[in-house]
Amino acid sequence: MVIKEINKVHNWFYPWTEDLKASLREARNNRSLGELLVYEDSSIRVWSTHLEPQQSLPFHKHALPYVYIAQSNGSSRSFYGDGKVLETNYKQGDVKCFPDLTEENSFVHNLENTGKTLLIFTTIEFKQ
């Protein structure tokens, strides 16, 4: 996985648009971490996401520990609630873990498929 920062924290200019800023304000409490909740029990939620090229997952909030697994090669851009923008290139099988998230150090972001192929993720959220 290769991550590149293309916009610094608190820089609300290009590539931010007014529509993106409005979407961020409206979705700060969205807890849907994927397109489809495929499993849930008392300790975890498992989400599936399939994004076609140029398709986006709306802004959503991460406030619990989670891990995601890239099920396909691809690339994305994410706009974060603090103004930061990251571009990421994935290889099938890439895994990223966020083990220490809480309400106090949560973050909000979206996910745009900037590649030319279907982007597939499995996300496992750990309830506390």
Pick the CATH number of 2-126 from 2.60.120.10, 3.40.50.1240, 3.90.850.10, 3.40.50.150: 2.60.120.10
In this predicted model, what pLDDT tens digit does every residue of 68-117 receive, in sequence order?
999 999 999 999 999 999 999 999 999 999 999 999 999 999 999 999 99
The separation between CA 96 and the C-alpha centre of its own chain, rounded to angstroms, equals 11
Looking at the chain, list the stretches that DSSP marks H as alpha helix, in order from N- to C-terminal side.
Answer: 18-26
pTM higher than 0.75, yes or no?
yes
In this predicted model, what pLDDT tens digit does every residue of 33-59 receive, in sequence order?
999 999 999 999 999 999 999 999 999
What's the full length of the chain, in residues?
Answer: 128
What span, in angstroms and rounded, lies between the C-alpha atoms of 125 and 76?
20
Q: Please report, for the chain, the start and end positions of each structural domain, with discontinuous segments joined by +.
A: 2-126
In terms of Cα–Cα distance, which of 16, 76, 85, 19 is closest to 49? 76
pLDDT surpassing 80 at residue 24: yes
